[in-house]
A and B are shown apart, each in its own frame.
Chain A
């Protein structure tokens, strides 16, 4: 099973709302990622969890709050977003190796299309 699932597929929220994006994988991967992708642009890395610990935070505004409850789940909590935060949010996972000799591809979910009104 090489599937990463994301819910919801689409989300419309107001600037005062609080919502969460969810991501799940059952491939035994110990690294999980959140990316933001604007239209016609490449994905931009937001957060990386490695062995359930936040290892990379790419200077993302605090209105985005990640959470990794266990090795299979990744959440992104959203609060007081701005219209410019409207984008496709992609979750990914990969193997993790503390002494890598090869690169591990990331498996992506289908994404959540977020619209902030």
Chain B
């Protein structure tokens, strides 16, 4: 069974600084995908970034990068140059590539960006 762990219920960061949100996972699958989603107070889940288990390079999307350490089973999200609009819940998620439909989410981290 897959398990996603986000140990930081809440994080604060000063505007324009970088912040790292932690995510560890546990799986016996060989092929899996890791995802990060942002959920503002409006409720919509916004896809941010994806990392495949076979990808050798860390994924980057604009100000978002994923620090993937396969041996440690961690997939931390790094947000550079934080903006006030980054304040939201952030969820790490994972799914087996051969069970493509079954995605599981971590408990989430609430990020607050201070002006």
Cβ-neighbour of A50 out of B52, B98, B101 (below 8 A): B101
Chain B contacts of A101 at CB under 8 A?
97
Which residues B71-105 have CB closer than 8 A to chain A? Answer: 91, 95, 97-98, 100-105
Chain B contacts of A96 at CB under 8 A?
100-101
Question: Do B103 and A107 have beta carbons less than 8 Å apart?
Answer: no
- A81: Cβ under 8 A from any B Cβ: no
Cβ-neighbour of A106 out of B43, B47, B107 (below 8 A): B47
**Interface size of A as a range:** 20 to 34
Chain B contacts of A66 at CB under 8 A?
none
Top 3 nearest A-B pairs (CB, nearest first) are: A103-B33, A42-B105, A108-B45
Question: Do B101 and A90 have beta carbons less than 8 Å apart?
Answer: no
Question: Do A100 and B98 have beta carbons less than 8 Å apart?
Answer: yes
Interface contacts beyond A42-B107, A108-B46: sample of 18 additional A-B pairs, CB < 8 Å, sorted by A: A41-B108, A43-B91, A43-B105, A45-B103, A48-B101, A56-B102, A90-B43, A92-B45, A94-B100, A96-B100, A96-B101, A101-B97, A103-B95, A106-B47, A108-B44, A109-B44, A110-B42, A111-B43
**Nearest Cβ distance between residue A48 and chain B, in whole angstroms?**
4
Which residues B2-55 have CB closer than 8 A to chain A? Answer: 32-35, 37, 42-47, 50, 52
Residues of chain B having any CB pair with chain A under 8 Å: 32-35, 37, 42-47, 50, 52, 91, 95, 97-98, 100-108
**Nearest Cβ distance between residue A108 and chain B, in whole angstroms?**
4
Question: Do A104 and B44 have beta carbons less than 8 Å apart?
Answer: no
A110 to B24 alpha-carbon distance, docked (Å): 27
A114 to B91 alpha-carbon distance, docked (Å): 22
Question: Do A42 and B91 have beta carbons less than 8 Å apart?
Answer: yes
**Nearest Cβ distance between residue A8 and chain B, in whole angstroms?**
13
Chain A contacts of B34 at CB under 8 A?
103
- A105: Cβ under 8 A from any B Cβ: yes
Chain A contacts of B44 at CB under 8 A?
108-111
With A42-B105, A103-B50 given, is the CB distance from A110 to B100 under 8 Å? no
